[in-house]
């Protein structure tokens, strides 16, 4: 131990000595400003030219060419004309070495606060980042008050690359101004500036709330890249600050330099965000398209609602100026600060600036920035005479990658996705399940990842799964296509005939019992539908026979045959070859042409037959609930637990219908379960239309045998 401590002491002394020499060397090459000791931030004690040891100092040349070492840059010279000539406490953390050391407590003072102004004669030097305090620095507090913990060396980067404002500061400025509504100009309200290079805001999304997030909206959290290329220093050289492009080329073909990185677009991003019809362009250009649209909306709102035309400059403070000649372009005469701020305009302008001031946002967390831009346009549109057209634009990805949606954000307040949900509602839940046979609770994720389905992110091969265990206990799978069985792991539902029967065991068919509650199959149980009675995903009534696996034609029999595995869209072109219809919903069984729903139409698609049967079943469910169970019932497809007491007995889901329905009999549960099953597999008509019609018919018949007189059971 003594030898170890002695070694550490010597190493520390060497580092300080080398740092002094490095600063001296910098002084020779850049004589102004005066040389500074990077270890102490004091003037360098040099009486003679320093020896040239730069070749022996690791990373010295890389650092010297970086923005952190540029002593002539505005970032370090901004306060030269101030009196006194010093970096104020509000800026010193990131614009001086002693300020940063003060902030992280390296000078012995409190952490996360700068106690005094700093010298203007320093840059971000070796000792700024390399000291005992930063060696253990692992958490970062953002302007919103949010704290990200458990970090590595990226905590040092994020301390400065986090911006200076957030939704909290924007709302605070609006409240302080005395604004009473969103669209009245308030003289006391000004523009809130996030500041430069807030990369951590883009990266961590709604976890740090650096953008202006609109009420009622949900947003992406941290962008999960592949393992080993996650943190700041994984992608950027920590000394030169340059992007290490060589780490991109393994997965992203065509990337040759920092500029070509803008062309990257992952398979999880196959929607047209800016609505220009191009889904091949890089995410950087999707963001640029939305930025153009938002600036157009900002300018329209400024003229139409705020009453003063506005222009923007990315390089001139305070960025937004009065458009003196109202031509929509930044001219030499546009020099007067824009002052006609209404709260709605201030929010949108803040988000526009947030997107501009992180030029690498497309890589750091493009989805979060896209959401901020889209929502800002949408909000301004509510007051524009001619709204900016968002018809073809998209805010969210396909479901597997829609990190801002309820499927992935449901557990944010809890801080963990429980083990029973993690397999399908987290990025790494499925591969963990495949490897271990079980999943523990995990932190909420930002949707699925490449590694969710691919066992290699260089070859992009998929996990091979021969069979999948369904809730009924059945082990099923597509033959000869083991990778297609990946889908079945999640698209199987969470209940079955077996679990429903277990829940009502020993209770009379029409007996109201507090032991009986609604059993929810969960969303998109398409796999259970495809395998029909083999999976028993729907409730199957005793004494009835049901269709088994729906065998479609060769080449179109599995999930991945018919659905794009990333966009999740249906390959409708393939359907048209045999069925001669433009929409799959119009397809019906040709032999025989039977009227299953009794409406007299034998030309409508099977979906039409199922939709009518669902409507008829709901009528019988409500009639039984009132007459036999004793309590009126109403269904709300968007609110858990879906079935509620119909407070005013009007048969409609009203605002007052919020109390959970509790007057269940087994018979009512069986039919309500199948009603929900049909709702939660909207593609059931294609997955196994005969099976779905059978369970709907039997559910109607169970509640009211007379109601099936004109219906036909396949």
Distance from C-alpha of 165 to C-alpha of 482, rounded to nearest angstrom: 50
Beta bridge partners of 645: 633
Please tell me the pTM assigned to this model: 0.88
Q: What is the pLDDT of residues 368-404, one digit of tens each?
A: 999 999 999 999 999 999 999 999 999 999 999 999 9
Of residues 248, 204, 242, the one with CA closest to residue 229: 248
3-state SS assignment for residue 633: strand
What tokens appear for 548 in the block? 């088994």
**Calpha distance 67→72 (Å, rounded):** 10
Angle at 242 between CA 237 and CA 246, to 5 degrees: 80
Contact 271, 394 (CB under 8 A): yes
Provide the pLDDT for residue 573: 87
The answer to whether residues 557 and 571 touch, using CB atoms and an 8 Å cutoff, is no
Residue with tokens 């969470």: 494
pLDDT at 249: 86
Tell me if the bond preceding 107 is cis, omega within 30° of 0.
no
Are the CB atoms for 692 and 538 separated by under 8 Å?
A: yes
Q: Tell me which residues of the chain have a pLDDT lower than 50.
A: 1-48
CA atoms within 13 A on the CB side of 66: 19
Model pLDDT for residues 642-689, shown as the tens digit of each residue: 999 999 999 999 999 999 999 999 999 999 999 999 999 999 999 999
First to last CA, the chain: 81
Which residues, 6 or more positions from 144, have their beta carbon under 8 angstroms from its beta carbon?
166, 167, 168, 208, 209, 210
pLDDT at 580: 84
Which tokens in the block code for residue 565?
A: 């595995």
**Structure-token pair, residue 254:** 């065509």
Which pLDDT value is given to residue 148? 97
- pLDDT at residue number 457: 84
Max intra-chain CA distance, the chain: 107
Q: If DSSP codes are grouped into helix, strand and coil, which group holds residue 268?
A: coil
Question: In sequence order, which ranges of 34-88 are alpha helices (DSSP H)?
Answer: 60-64, 74-77
Name the helix (H) or strand (E) containing 204: helix 199-204
Q: Which residues contact 110 (CB under 8 A, 6 or more apart)?
A: none
Q: What's residue 385's pLDDT?
A: 98
Strand partners, 310: 322
Going by C-alpha positions, the residue among 669, 644, 645, 678 that lies closest to residue 518 is 669
Is residue 600 within 8 Å of 612, Cβ to Cβ? no
Measured at the alpha carbon of residue 705, what is the angle toward residues 702 and 706, in degrees to the nearest 5? Answer: 150
- Backbone dihedral angles phi then psi of residue 689, each to the nearest 5 degrees: -60, -40
Q: Where are the alpha helices (DSSP H) in 539-605?
A: 559-562, 572-579
Question: Omega into 660 within 30° of 0, i.e. cis?
Answer: no
Q: Residues with Cβ < 8 Å from 224, sequence gap 6 or more?
A: 230, 427, 445, 446, 449
The confidence score (pLDDT) of residue 54 equals 61
Contact call for residues 380 and 297 (beta carbons, < 8 A) = yes
Q: Nearest-CA neighbor of 284 among 297, 273, 295?
A: 273
CA–chain centroid gap for 444, Å, is: 11
Residue by residue, DSSP assigns 98-121 as: HHHHHHTTTTSS-TT---S-B-SS
Q: Return the number of other C-beta atoms located less than 10 Å from residue 583's C-beta.
A: 13
Task: Work out whether the CA dihedral 630, 631, 632, 637 comes out positive or negative.
Answer: negative
Of the candidates 281, 275, 268, the residue with the CA atom closest to the CA atom of residue 389? 275
pLDDT of residue 55: 62
Retrieve residue 656's tokens: 């007052």
Report residue 462 as tokens: 């998929």
**Alpha carbon distance 542, 284 (integer Å):** 58
Token reading at 194: 């996030």
Would you state the structure tokens that stand for residue 705, as one six-digit string? 């045998």
């Amino acid at each position: 131990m003594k030898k170890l401590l002695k070694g550490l002491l010597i190493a520390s002394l060497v580092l300080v000595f080398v740092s002094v020499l490095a600063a001296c060397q910098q002084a020779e090459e850049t004589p102004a400003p005066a040389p500074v000791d990077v270890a102490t931030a004091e003037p360098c004690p040099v009486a003679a030219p320093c020896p040239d040891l730069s070749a022996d100092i690791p990373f010295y040349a890389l650092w010297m060419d970086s923005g952190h070492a540029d002593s002539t840059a505005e970032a370090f010279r901004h306060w030269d004309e101030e009196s006194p000539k010093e970096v104020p406490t509000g800026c010193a953390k990131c614009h001086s070495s002693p300020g940063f050391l003060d902030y992280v407590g390296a000078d012995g003072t409190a952490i996360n606060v700068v106690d005094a102004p700093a010298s203007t004669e320093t840059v971000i030097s070796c000792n700024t980042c390399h000291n005992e305090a930063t060696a253990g620095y692992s958490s970062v507090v953002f302007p919103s008050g949010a704290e990200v913990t458990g970090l590595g060396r990226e905590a040092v980067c994020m301390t400065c690359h986090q911006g200076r404002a957030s939704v909290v500061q924007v709302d605070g400025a609006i409240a302080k101004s005395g604004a009473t509504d969103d669209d009245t100009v308030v003289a006391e309200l000004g523009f809130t500036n996030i500041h430069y290079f807030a990369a951590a805001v883009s990266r961590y999304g709604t976890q740090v709330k650096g953008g202006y997030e609109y009420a009622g909206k949900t947003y992406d959290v941290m962008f999960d890249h592949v393992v080993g290329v996650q943190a700041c220093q994984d992608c950027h050289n920590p000394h030169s600050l340059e992007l290490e492009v060589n780490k991109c080329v393994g997965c992203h073909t065509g990337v040759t330099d920092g500029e070509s990185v803008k062309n990257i677009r992952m398979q999880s991003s196959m929607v047209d965000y800016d609505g220009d019809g191009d889904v091949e362009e890089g995410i950087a250009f999707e963001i640029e398209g939305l930025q153009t649209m938002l600036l157009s909306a900002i300018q329209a709102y400024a003229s139409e609602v705020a009453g003063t035309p506005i222009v923007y400059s990315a390089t001139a403070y305070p960025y937004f100026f009065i458009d003196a000649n109202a031509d929509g372009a930044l001219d030499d005469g546009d020099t007067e600060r824009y002052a006609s701020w209404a709260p709605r305009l201030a929010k949108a302008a803040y988000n526009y600036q947030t997107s501009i001031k992180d030029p690498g946002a497309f890589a750091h967390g493009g989805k979060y920035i896209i959401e901020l831009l889209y929502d800002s346009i949408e909000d301004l549109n509510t007051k524009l005479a001619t709204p900016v057209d968002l018809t073809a634009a998209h805010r969210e990805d396909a479901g597997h990658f829609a990190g801002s949606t309820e499927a992935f954000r449901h557990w944010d307040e809890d801080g963990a996705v429980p083990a029973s949900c993690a397999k399908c509602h987290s990025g790494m839940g499925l591969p963990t399940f495949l490897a271990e046979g079980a999943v523990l609770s995990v932190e909420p994720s930002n949707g699925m990842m490449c590694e969710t389905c691919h066992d290699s992110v260089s070859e992009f091969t998929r996990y091979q799964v021969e069979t999948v265990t369904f809730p009924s206990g059945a082990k099923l799978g597509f033959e000869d296509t083991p990778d297609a069985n990946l889908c079945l792991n999640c698209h199987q539902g969470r209940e079955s005939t077996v679990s429903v029967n277990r829940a009502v065991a020993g209770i009379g068919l029409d007996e109201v019992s507090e032991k009986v509650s609604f059993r929810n199959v969960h969303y998109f149980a398409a796999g259970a539908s495809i395998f029909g009675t083999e999976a028993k995903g729907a409730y199957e009534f005793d004494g009835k026979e049901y269709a088994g696996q729906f065998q479609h034609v060769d080449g179109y029999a599995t999930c991945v045959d018919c659905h794009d595995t990333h966009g999740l869209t249906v390959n409708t072109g393939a359907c048209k070859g045999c069925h001669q219809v433009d929409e799959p919903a119009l397809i019906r069984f040709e032999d025989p042409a039977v009227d299953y729903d009794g409406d007299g139409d034998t030309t409508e698609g099977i979906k039409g037959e199922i939709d009518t049967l669902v409507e008829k079943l709901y009528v019988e469910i409500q009639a039984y609930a009132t007459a036999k169970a004793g309590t009126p019932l109403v269904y709300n497809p968007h609110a858990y637990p879906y079935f509620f007491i119909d407070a005013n007995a009007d048969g409609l889901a009203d605002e007052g219908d919020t109390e959970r329905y509790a007057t269940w009999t087994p018979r009512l549960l069986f039919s309500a379960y199948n009603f929900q099953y049909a709702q939660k597999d909207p593609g059931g008509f294609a997955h196994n239309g005969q099976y779905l019609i059978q369970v709907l018919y039997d559910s109607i018949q169970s509640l009211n045998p007379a109601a099936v007189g004109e219906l036909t059971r396949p």
